[in-house]
Amino acid sequence: MVAAKFDPETGFTSLLRFGALRTETRLDVLKGLPIATVADSNGYDGQFYAQIAVDPSLSSPELSQVLDAPSYRARRILAPAAAAAIGLGRPWWILQAYALLNVLAWFVFAWLLWSEIGTTTWISFARWSACLFSLGTLDSVRQSLVDLPALVLLMLAVRAHSRKAQAPTTAWTALGSLTKETNLLGAMALQLDALGGKTTRPRAMFVLTLGALPLAVWSMYVGQRFGDTFATYSLGNFSWPLAGLTAHLQYSVAQLWTGNYDSRHTFGLLGPISLGLQLVVLWRNPGLSLPWWRIGAAYSILMLFLSAWVWSGYWAACRAVLPMTIAFNLLLPSGRWFWSLWCLGNITLLHGVWRFL
């Protein structure tokens, strides 16, 4: 599917989703390059992270004009900075590197996930493939976003935590928070077992503090550079519990009622049902001692607070709670209801593959 996106002239830049309506607001250094552009569209988020990769120091005064939400995008600096390093400072190479960063993350994710599952049965393969081809995973690859790289770093933190390796856990937590700030939610859930013990609490607090420190320092720099704060854009992603989901469901039902059966609306109705099932299955089988259950539970709560803005493209909600989907598939009981619950809980997989094609 990725190979099909390659073009001899534009390379893999179709994965960046540059929009034709924003052609004039690109960085000047990119305007002469053969970049694949989506006609009659504002494009999508990957185009903004790709332009940060061209100038990861945020020194160009153009950035405040070309980014839709400068501080919000710039806080997620790790993936753009990695692409800048791989591209050796050359804009065309940087764009290609950033476009393929999620592809590399997908293969690392596949390996980490298989080693996490640890068995070779059809049920194991079902768990593995559902995670690899979930809508949240594929959309991160298809649109060069930060969700999958952030998930990979969270998985590495889980592996280090399970080995009681404090330094690597801290390092993966810090890198994850610089990739996507909500990774700190997963990090807190991961440390919940240690936070509950008197002897282990100081160590857990130390890991979380050091893990969040690079993001705090970088956010201060970003705030000074663009003159805004964390709340300027980020808090618009959240609302009162279930308010955003309710508004989304009402809109999807209204569109279907009028005969608009576009996949955006059909799966826009089925997707939340699927995510809701994941939430129910996780909470019906609580396992506080299991790192992935704690992480899945934390993101299931996050899902309830997502705003109508996030749900307006329900795939964004799928990406926001991607760790919950991973937890659901890893922990789904392998009893008589496994295949039924697996199908219903992963119904958006079909839409993920369809959107990629």
Determine contact, residues 271/317, Cβ cutoff 8 Å. yes
Q: If DSSP codes are grouped into helix, strand and coil, which group holds residue 38?
A: strand
Distance CA 104, CA 200 (A): 35
Which domain does 318 fall in, by range?
3-356
Which two structure tokens, joined as six digits, stand for 278? 């994941």
Determine contact, residues 239/307, Cβ cutoff 8 Å. yes
pLDDT of residue 125: 96
pLDDT in tens, 179-228: 999 999 999 999 998 898 888 899 999 999 999 999 999 999 999 998 76
- State the residue for tokens 């933190």: 157
pLDDT of residue 106: 98
Distance CA 80, CA 180 (A): 12
- Which residue from 189, 97, 203, 101 is spatially nearest to 152, judged by alpha carbons? 101
Which two structure tokens, joined as six digits, stand for 90? 């050359």
Residue type, 123: I
Model confidence at 262: pLDDT above 70: yes
pLDDT of residue 48: 97
Distance CA 47, CA 164 (A): 38
State pTM to two decimals.
Answer: 0.95
Model confidence at 18: pLDDT above 70: yes
pLDDT of residue 14: 97
Sign, CA torsion 90/78/291/230: negative
Q: Helical H runs in 87-121?
A: 91-117
| Percent share of the chain, pLDDT over 90 | 91
Read off the pLDDT band of 235 (50, 70, 90).
low
pLDDT in tens, 64-98: 999 999 999 999 999 999 999 999 999 999 999 99
Neighbours of 182 (CB within 10 A): 22
Q: What are residue 206's phi and psi, to 5 degrees?
A: -65, -45
- Which residue from 57, 28, 109, 137 is spatially nearest to 356, judged by alpha carbons? 137
Work out how many domains the chain is built from and give that number.
1
Alpha carbons within 13 angstroms on the beta-carbon side of residue 144 total 31
pLDDT in tens, 89-138: 999 999 999 999 999 999 999 999 999 998 889 999 999 999 999 999 99
Distance CA 267, CA 34 (A): 34
Distance CA 14, CA 10 (A): 8
| Percent share of the chain, pLDDT over 70 | 98
Model confidence at 320: pLDDT above 70: yes
Read off the pLDDT band of 234 (50, 70, 90).
low
Beta bridge partners of 18: 37, 43
Model confidence at 12: pLDDT above 60: yes
Determine contact, residues 320/182, Cβ cutoff 8 Å. yes
Residue type, 334: S
Please state, rounded to an integer, the average pLDDT across all residues of the chain. 94
- Which residue from 323, 339, 341 is spatially nearest to 134, judged by alpha carbons? 323
pLDDT of residue 232: 54
Model confidence at 229: pLDDT above 80: no
pLDDT of residue 227: 77
- State the residue for tokens 């900075």: 81
3-state helix, strand, coil in the chain (%, to 5): 70, 5, 25
Q: Helical H runs in 180-290?
A: 183-190, 192-195, 201-226, 243-257, 263-284
pLDDT of residue 315: 95
pLDDT of residue 85: 97
Give the pLDDT mean for 336-345.
96
pLDDT of residue 133: 97
Distance CA 132, CA 287 (A): 24
Distance CA 229, CA 250 (A): 32
pLDDT of residue 233: 59
Decide which of 151 and 313 is more confident: 151
